[in-house]
Amino acid sequence: MEHLRIGHLSTFYHTAFILMGRDSLTKAGIEASWTLFPTGPDLVKALSGGEIDLAYIGLPPAMIGISKGLDIRCVAGGHIEGTVLVATGKYRSAAELGSENEALAQFDGGVIGCPARGSIHDIIIRDLVARAGFDIEVRNYGWADFVLAALQDGEIEAAAGTPALAAGARRFAGGKIILPSHLLWPWNPSYGIVATGSLRDRGPTLAAFLRSHEDACELIRNDPRSAARIVARVTGIVDEAYVLECYGISPKYCASLPGPYIDSAMRFAGTLHRLGYISRLPELPEVFDTRFIDQVHPGPAHYLGGLRL
């Protein structure tokens, strides 16, 4: 058996929880050890410290590490457009107000909460606020789960985060989506699979993992109820309906790395530089290695195919 140390987040729509609940990796000859991390930047620290071989992560924190010389590459996709802006029901959505700018203007002088500094949600919301020119404080939280608690407690006016945050805001804070994911940053790489140089040297093992990852993405697309049951069972803290709601908020799942995914990810380099997160712009070959996923998923991408409910 090949041993693989995998870092993941608490995000319910990542394939990590499906792979934990199935035996596909074992059948592929992989003995996986899973470690939960609070945020993407924490995953980058673990990759840098040699604690893990592979991570489920948004691309901006990975790019921050790459810009500092860390030998990691994005070797597969997973999901796009996974950042939404939510608030309590007293606020109006962009659809109700007629424009994104008017929707964001409601929070001028207020506070928007989001996960840790350097996370994909942090970069997207800071870029949006900077371009709009509003006086909005972006407040970071060490665990993504703390953002929902802050919204419930009235500590913040709005929150930027995953579809899981949106589902939680609806259930527990009387919340609604103010800006959906496709308006914030089209094709943004919600998460990808990032691998170390040493794992990329173990090509057959990495390819075997990616086959299981792609199979799990396919399960989400084609049989989301079965996927949701697995996630609910593995986590033990959410029910099937909650996971299904998360899947449906931005139903764009696939393991491939098509051109629009890569182009959108590389746009973050300029934004990261402009916001002061990186001092140099990484080149595309420093960020992506498509050799393995091109073998596993040679056909067209499925991100825009939706779910079969």
84-88/175-179 β-pairing: antiparallel
Could you read off the pLDDT tens digit of each residue along the chain, which spans 309 residues? Answer: 999 999 999 999 999 999 999 999 999 999 999 999 999 999 999 999 999 999 999 999 999 999 999 999 999 999 999 999 999 999 999 999 999 999 999 999 999 999 999 999 999 999 999 999 999 999 999 888 899 999 999 999 999 999 999 999 999 889 999 999 999 999 999 999 999 999 999 999 999 999 999 999 999 999 999 999 999 999 999 999 999 999 999 999 999 999 999 999 999 999 999 999 999 999 999 999 999 999 999 999 999 999 997
| Residue/partner pairs of 49-53 with CB below 8 Å, 24 or more apart | 50/196, 51/5, 51/7, 52/5, 52/6, 52/7, 52/196, 53/4, 53/5, 53/6, 53/195, 53/196, 53/198, 53/199
- Does 70 share its domain with 218? yes
- Does 211 share its domain with 272? yes
- Does 133 share its domain with 53? no
- Does 143 share its domain with 248? no
* pTM (two decimals): 0.94
Residue 103's CATH number: 3.40.190.10
When divided into structural domains, the chain yields a total of: 2
- Does 113 share its domain with 254? no
- Boundaries of domain holding 271: 2-79+189-305
Q: CA geometry: angle at 173 spanning 160 and 192, to 5°?
A: 35
Cα–Cα distances (Å) from 223 to 13, 218, 244, 247, 261, in that order, read 13, 8, 11, 11, 24
Among 184, 214, 232, where does a domain finish?
184
167 vs 137: CA distance, rounded Å: 23
Among 168, 184, 200, where does a domain finish?
184
